[in-house]
Amino acid sequence: MSEDIDKIVRLAAFEWLSKQTQIHGDVLSRELLAKGFIFRGERIPLVSPQGIFKPKILPEIPLTITTSPESKYDDGLGPGDLIHYRYRGTDPNHRDNKGLRKAMVEGTPLIYFIGVAPNKYIAFWPVYIVGDMPEQLTFKVAVDDSAYINTSMTADEGYVSDTGAEARRAYITSIARHRLHQRSFRERVLHAYREQCACCKLRHPELLDAAHIIPDAKPEGMPIVKNGISLCKLHHAAFDAYFLGIRPDYVIEIRKDVLDEEDGPMLIHGLKDMNNRKIIMPSPHSLSPHPEFLERRYEEFRNI
């Protein structure tokens, strides 16, 4: 029996992505994805200017789908925690749309790249096309557990049917949504602050967090840039513990008992020296922390 090049290439792509996320974390650069990997002497890119991408080596079905941060398409999470992915264009019979429809019929796993900041993407795999809504020019997409990849791709003919997949994929897609919101919030906040701490200007992304002004556990704690501040891990912890407050005029205030404390150079330079400094502002200025959010948080700080 001739080898199934479709399965072999997909498994190679999944393995390569797994290694890249181990090296770089779960946010990958577009440059890395466009470069792709070498398969039998041929370079296999994973993205292209089009959102639905099939490398030349594959016969019919796309390998990846992509939503860029600047996408003109209204991709998003729909009812039942499934993802809605827009057709390419308005012709349901465009070859790319037909390719995704074939993936749905045959149960072929894909990779989904979702942009969380300019040129930065989170990869989800395997994902499956599980519904087609031509009247809305939209497919339904579900994320699955990568532990099931080999199980579903070892059949000699076609892909293995998985009777327990629907409930599992709905659950995993809901987890993916939460992960996406968290990572998207972080990347957008850090990008707005030019990947530096708003208090001390530390520029190592590995040591930076996107701090919520109104905590995300509260209904008003929206994952939007205006409810976030880029802070290093020290100043994030100090902000959360109310050692450090930020006034609505964007000026840092250190709690009085901390200012009165004597405890070496870290306290002096890490916290005390921040008192009465203005935070580094994001770009563009329209992304600045919302004064109302800061006012509410500052009142809590003052009442400690």
Residues 19 and 102 grouped into a single domain:
yes
User: What residue type is assigned to position 3 of the chain?
Assistant: E
The pLDDT value recorded for residue 265 is 86
- In this prediction, residue 3 carries a pLDDT of 63
Query: CATH number for the domain including 15?
Result: 2.30.280
Structural domain includes residue 158: yes
Q: At a CB cut-off of 8 Å and minimum separation 6, what does 65 contact?
A: 51, 52, 53, 85, 100, 110, 111, 112, 113, 127, 141
Rounded mean pLDDT for each run of 10 residues along the chain, 304 residues in total: 79 96 94 97 94 93 92 54 88 95 95 93 95 94 84 53 76 87 91 96 95 90 93 97 97 95 87 96 95 96 92
pLDDT of residue 151: 56
Say if CB 122 and CB 26 are below 8 A apart.
yes
Q: Are residues 137 and 200 in the same domain?
A: no
What residues form DSSP beta bridges with 158?
none
Closest CA to 83 of 39, 131, 126: 131
Fill in the amino acid letter for 145. Answer: D
Domain count, the chain: 2
Report whether 144 contacts 169 (CB < 8 A).
yes
User: Shortest CA distance to 252 belongs to which of 186, 299, 298, 193?
Assistant: 298
Let me know if residue 184 belongs to a domain: no
Residues 35 and 108 in one domain: yes
Asked if 110 and 201 sit in the same domain, the reply is no
Q: Are residues 109 and 208 in the same domain?
A: no
The model carries a pTM of 0.81
Secondary structure letter of residue 92 according to DSSP = T
**Structural domain that includes position 107:** 5-165
Q: What span, in angstroms and rounded, lies between the C-alpha atoms of 186 and 203? A: 15
Instruction: Quickly list H helices, 78-137.
Output: 95-106
Asked if residue 255 lies in contact with residue 244, where contact means CB atoms within 8 angstroms, the answer is: yes
pLDDT at 148: 77
